[in-house]
């Protein structure tokens, strides 16, 4: 991922320096387990543990010759080991993927924890924002057309619960990727005791894979990327609400706009929803990684490396992008400007058409058939659309023409937007308890 969208801590997690630190840690844990079992000399552990991880350049220089990154790493690290002979038992009984998949599990769980922390923070901000605006009356829209009264807090609650479910999916995916395999060339433990694998997993705070070939099958990693993609897409759903709400014709919402910020190089008046649009663009990118990662599940026989090149790009990019998206979505939610007055203006702009459903049901309850009620209400509504005459007036005229008497007091009650707020009370009770 380019530096523009990489936050420092997530960048550190996916850096080459940290990768080699984790590789060293895994190899030391395997070596220590062997030494405890009496498989290798006990005095070789501390020299290896004390050897500094090799630099990315040192590994790269050797890899230019070996064309094998693990061998290059082992050679470069041996060069840092004193005495060098102590490095002879490093990687004992292991195959490359034992190191690669186990170290990847460590990095994936670290990246997941960073994302989960940001997700928890954003959920709390959205929850509080939704509760604050539980009575911010706005028009609900279906197909982009005014439908019935709603509240901004209700829309935020929907997104907040979706994000909470997405967080829980990522927690489950963390369990799926947090597994290690120290099982040898085709996963049969031919040159290594299964007890070594269990001990290493315990030391890393992970679990042994229930089975592996040379690699751990990629269903767990696919689940992880899919969980990230869902988080990204829920953030895009929030962004889409803001983008629509900031349109000049709507003006119900506005992104934070800082002092000195500029919206356009040509038009000084512009305030553009750039955070929301950035979220939308990055969500497309994260979703795009789902298919290539899933295609790493079917590999030839016990292993090929067609998944490797994909994962070297997709896994850091997806997690770095989602980490950044959560960061800017938090900024968006924290500074979002809600224009309640404009929401009310838009609500009333259709002349009361948003109450046709309530009026229809009221007429049915008064004894008129549904078919006749629908025809009467729709006729009045179409007249309002065409003439701009308020709906209550066109409804009254239509009722008089049909010989129907309207209960004006009852219509006042069903056309009061406050009752929509009251009906949403259970939703906000659930939102208040969300953690």
1 is a domain residue: yes
268 is a domain residue: yes
Residues 393, 358: one domain? Answer: yes
Residues 324, 360: one domain? Answer: no
- Residue 203, domain CATH: 1.20.200.10
Q: What is the mean pLDDT of residues 139-156?
A: 95
What pLDDT digit, counting tens, does each position of 301-357 carry?
988 888 999 999 999 999 999 999 999 999 999 999 999 999 999 999 999 999 999
Residues 290, 372: one domain? Answer: no
- The contacts found for 418-426 with CB under 8 angstroms, 24 or more apart, are 418/137, 420/137, 420/148, 420/149, 420/150, 420/151, 421/134, 421/135, 421/137, 421/151, 424/134, 424/151, 424/153, 424/154
* pLDDT at residue 88 in the model: 95
What pLDDT digit, counting tens, does each position of 366-390 carry?
889 999 999 999 999 999 999 999 9
Residues 105, 63: one domain? Answer: no
* pLDDT at residue 268 in the model: 79
Q: Give the integer Cα–Cα distance in Å for 271 and 251.
A: 11
Residues 330, 405: one domain? Answer: no
Domain boundary residue, one of 320, 344, 368: 344
Residues 119, 37: one domain? Answer: no
What pLDDT digit, counting tens, does each position of 79-110 carry?
999 999 999 999 999 999 999 999 999 999 99
Residues 86, 117: one domain? Answer: no
Residues 27, 116: one domain? Answer: no
Closest among 130, 146, 153 to 346, alpha carbons compared:
146
* pLDDT at residue 111 in the model: 98
Q: What is the mean pLDDT of residues 164-168?
A: 98
Residues 71, 134: one domain? Answer: no
Q: Output the CA torsion 286→287→291→294 (10° steps).
A: 70
Residues 174, 271: one domain? Answer: yes
* pLDDT at residue 120 in the model: 98
What pLDDT digit, counting tens, does each position of 244-291 carry?
999 999 999 999 887 778 877 778 777 889 999 999 999 999 999 999
Q: CA–CA distance from 2 to each of 9, 16, 347 (Å)?
A: 14, 15, 43
* pLDDT at residue 128 in the model: 98
149: three-class secondary structure by DSSP: strand
Q: Give the integer Cα–Cα distance in Å for 282 and 4.
A: 12
- Residue 47, domain CATH: 1.10.275.10
What are the phi and psi torsion angles at 215 (to 5°)?
-120, 160
Percent of the chain that is helix, strand, coil (3-state, to 5): 65, 5, 30
* pLDDT at residue 259 in the model: 79
User: 231: domain range?
Assistant: 97-344
- Report the catalytic residues: 143, 264
What are the phi and psi torsion angles at 139 (to 5°)?
-85, 135
Residues 207, 105: one domain? Answer: yes
420 is a domain residue: no
How many domains in the chain?
A: 3
Residues 160, 284: one domain? Answer: yes
**What is the DSSP secondary structure assignment for residue 53, as one 8-state letter?**
P
* pLDDT at residue 430 in the model: 97
Cβ–Cβ < 8 Å for 56, 44: no
What pLDDT digit, counting tens, does each position of 204-222 carry?
999 999 999 989 999 999 9
């Amino acid at each position: 991922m380019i530096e523009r969208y990489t936050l420092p801590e997530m960048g550190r997690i996916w850096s080459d320096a940290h990768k080699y630190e984790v590789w060293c840690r895994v190899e030391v844990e395997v070596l220590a387990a062997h030494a405890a079992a009496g498989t290798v000399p006990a005095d070789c552990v501390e020299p290896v543990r004390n050897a500094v991880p090799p630099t990315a350049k040192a590994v790269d220089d050797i890899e230019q010759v070996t064309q094998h990154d693990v061998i290059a790493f082992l050679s470069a690290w041996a060069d840092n080991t004193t005495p060098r002979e102590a490095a002879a038992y490093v990687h004992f009984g292991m195959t490359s993927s034992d190191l690669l998949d186990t170290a990847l599990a460590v990095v994936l769980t670290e990246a997941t924890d960073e994302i989960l922390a940001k997700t928890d923070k954003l959920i709390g901000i959205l929850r509080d924002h939704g509760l604050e605006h539980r009575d911010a009356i706005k028009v609900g829209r279906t197909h982009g057309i005014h439908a019935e009264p709603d509240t901004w807090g209700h829309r935020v609650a929907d997104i907040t619960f979706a994000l909470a479910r997405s967080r829980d999916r990522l927690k489950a995916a963390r369990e799926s990727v947090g597994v290690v395999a120290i099982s040898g060339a085709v996963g049969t433990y031919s040159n290594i005791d299964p007890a070594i694998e269990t001990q290493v997993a315990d030391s890393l705070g992970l679990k042994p894979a229930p089975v592996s070939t040379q690699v751990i099958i990629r269903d767990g990693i696919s689940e992880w990327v899919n969980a990230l993609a869902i988080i990204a897409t829920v953030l895009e759903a929030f962004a889409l609400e803001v983008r629509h709400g900031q349109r000049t014709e709507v003006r119900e919402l506005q992104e934070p706009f800082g002092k000195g910020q500029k919206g356009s190089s040509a038009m000084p008046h512009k305030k553009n929803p750039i955070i929301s649009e950035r979220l939308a663009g990055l969500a497309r990118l994260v979703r795009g990684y789902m298919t290539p990662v899933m295609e790493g599940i079917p590999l030839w026989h016990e292993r090929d490396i067609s998944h490797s090149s994909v994962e070297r790009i997709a896994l850091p990019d997806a997690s770095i992008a989602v980490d950044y998206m959560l960061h800017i979505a938090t900024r968006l939610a924290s500074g979002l400007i809600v224009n309640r007055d404009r929401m009310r203006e838009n609500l009333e702009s259709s002349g009361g058409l948003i109450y046709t459903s309530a009026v229809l049901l009221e007429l049915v309850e008064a004894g008129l058939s549904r078919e006749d009620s629908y025809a009467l209400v729709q006729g009045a509504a179409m007249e309002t659309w065409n003439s701009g005459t308020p709906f209550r007036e066109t409804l009254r005229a239509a009722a008089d023409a049909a010989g129907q008497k309207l209960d004006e007091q009852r219509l006042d009650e069903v056309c009061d937007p406050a009752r929509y707020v009251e009906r949403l009370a259970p939703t906000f009770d659930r939102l208040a308890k969300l953690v």
